[in-house]
């Protein structure tokens, strides 16, 4: 079987990283998706585009040409990044020793190239895998997958296993559990007044929000993995005006779904300290928690055995960060973090480790070759 070397894989990754593709930058992200569709097609895969909606980029399905229906191995990928156009100037594509830098090389263009290369070499060698290999490649993961989420759930419902090509953690670990995440927004409306002349007539939305924030943050329970972070607050219109409006945005993370849902319900029911203030709550669960179930553990053990045959030790880990794996984990056994090793996701230090490319491509290929229904 034709196995690409690290140099060839890196060249392919760098070609994709050269196309800047921040989720909300429609032109760039569309160019990236079109380029990837062409590359998947050239690899002999059957590509089915999904048109973009809500002003966001397109997604696509791609599958190996085995002609079979039924359960598949779903490879879940994203090609959007958090890096705005111009980031290539701040983190140019370059290799320094084992580290290859560039926006998106680690999260997760590198991982998608590895999975594509694995499928390409199987197709090239006419290997018939036990299950059809289906890719779903999306363009809005970094903003919470607002338009791809229904496609992700539908694809997972038809999958025997889900492999997510998010980057590896801390020295090549794959991910078998992730916290869930919710986003909420609270708006307070009070009554404005001149702070010098009629302070007593005002009803301060900022004061109300300050009290609420103390309560919200106090719901954090590190013991169980529930955290509430009020990360953004906007309020007031002038230093000498009793503020009429204040808005706070919360990021909630949870290990336990029921506990997270209870926290969301409690926030939806908050009452103002000052009865003259009106509070409006919006938002809710974004990605449910991804727990290491028995079937996830079995999938990891299988991957660990394959890695040992290839010649490396595979470990797993839990992370507070979310991914599209959160959507699939409750539907089909999901193994995440199968992409490239490296560091600096979401920063201008983002890089992959060149030495991780071939072993991890081989691991994906062995998973494709061995996973059964």
Chain residues in the site for Zn ion (CB under 5 A): 107-108, 166
DSSP 8-class letter at 290: B
Whose CA is closest to 83, among 347, 371, 312, 291? 347
Q: How far apart are CA 284 and CA 280, in angstroms?
A: 13
Of 107 and 341, nearer to Zn ion (C-beta) is 107
Q: How far apart are CA 191 and CA 207, in angstroms?
A: 12
Residue closest to Zn ion, measured at CB = 107
327 three-class SS: helix
Tell the smallest beta-carbon distance from residue 102 to Zn ion (Å). Answer: 15
368 three-class SS: helix
Q: How far apart are CA 116 and CA 44, in angstroms?
A: 10
Of 20 and 107, nearer to Zn ion (C-beta) is 107
Tell the smallest beta-carbon distance from residue 272 to Zn ion (Å). Answer: 39
Whose CA is closest to 73, among 124, 126, 123, 136? 136
Q: How far apart are CA 23 and CA 59, in angstroms?
A: 12
Tell the smallest beta-carbon distance from residue 143 to Zn ion (Å). Answer: 11
Of 58 and 325, nearer to Zn ion (C-beta) is 325
Q: How far apart are CA 118 and CA 3, in angstroms?
A: 8
Of 166 and 316, nearer to Zn ion (C-beta) is 166
Tell the smallest beta-carbon distance from residue 144 to Zn ion (Å). Answer: 12
Strand partners, 59: 50
Of 164 and 207, nearer to Zn ion (C-beta) is 164
Of 107 and 203, nearer to Zn ion (C-beta) is 107
Tell the smallest beta-carbon distance from residue 106 to Zn ion (Å). Answer: 9
212 CA to centre of own chain: 30
End-to-end CA distance of the chain: 24
Is the backbone peptide bond immediately before 108 cis, with ω within 30 degrees of 0? yes
Of 24 and 256, nearer to Zn ion (C-beta) is 24
Whose CA is closest to 112, among 15, 1, 2, 31? 15
Q: How far apart are CA 345 and CA 31, in angstroms?
A: 22
| C-alpha distances in Å from residue 362, one per residue of 2, 138, 286, 297, 323 | 11, 23, 33, 21, 23
Cβ atoms of 78 and 137 closer than 8 Å: yes
Tell the smallest beta-carbon distance from residue 312 to Zn ion (Å). Answer: 22
Of 82 and 193, nearer to Zn ion (C-beta) is 82
Tell the smallest beta-carbon distance from residue 342 to Zn ion (Å). Answer: 12
Tell the smallest beta-carbon distance from residue 145 to Zn ion (Å). Answer: 11
């Amino acid at each position: 079987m034709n196995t690409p070397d690290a140099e060839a894989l890196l060249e392919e990754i760098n070609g994709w990283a050269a196309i800047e593709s921040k989720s909300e930058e429609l032109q760039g992200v569309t160019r990236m998706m079109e380029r990837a569709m062409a590359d998947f097609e050239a690899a002999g895969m059957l590509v089915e585009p999904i048109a973009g909606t809500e002003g966001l980029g397109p997604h696509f399905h791609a599958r190996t040409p085995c002609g079979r229906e039924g359960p598949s191995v779903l490879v879940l990928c994203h090609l959007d990044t958090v890096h705005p156009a111009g980031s290539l100037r701040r983190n140019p594509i370059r290799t320094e020793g084992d580290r290859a830098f560039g926006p998106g090389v680690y999260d997760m263009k590198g991982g998608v190239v590895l999975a594509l290369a694995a499928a390409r070499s199987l197709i090239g060698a006419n290997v018939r895998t036990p299950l059809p290999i289906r890719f779903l490649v999306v363009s809005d993961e970094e903003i919470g997958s607002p338009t791809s989420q229904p496609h992700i759930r539908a694809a997972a419902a038809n999958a025997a296993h889900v492999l997510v090509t998010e980057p590896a953690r801390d020295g090549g670990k794959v991910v078998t559990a992730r916290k869930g995440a919710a986003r909420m927004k609270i708006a307070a409306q009070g009554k404005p007044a001149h702070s010098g002349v009629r302070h007593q007539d005002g009803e301060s939305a900022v004061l109300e929000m300050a009290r609420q924030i103390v309560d919200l943050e106090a719901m954090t329970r590190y013991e169980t993995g529930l955290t509430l972070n009020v990360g953004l607050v906007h309020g007031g219109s002038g230093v000498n005006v009793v503020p009429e409006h204040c808005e706070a945005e919360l990021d909630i993370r949870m290990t336990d779904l029921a506990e997270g849902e209870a926290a969301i319900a409690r926030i939806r029911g908050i009452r103002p300290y000052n009865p003259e203030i009106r509070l409006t709550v919006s938002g809710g669960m974004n990605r449910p928690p991804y727990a290491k179930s028995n079937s996830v553990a079995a999938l990891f053990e299988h991957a660990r055995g394959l890695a040992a045959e290839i010649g490396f030790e595979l470990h797993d880990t839990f992370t507070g960060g979310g991914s599209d794996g959160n959507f699939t984990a409750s539907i089909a056994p999901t193994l995440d973090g199968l992409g490239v090793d490296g560091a600096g996701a979401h920063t201008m230090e983002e890089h992959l480790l060149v030495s991780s490319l071939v072993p991890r491509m081989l691991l994906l290929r062995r998973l494709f070759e061995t996973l059964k229904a």
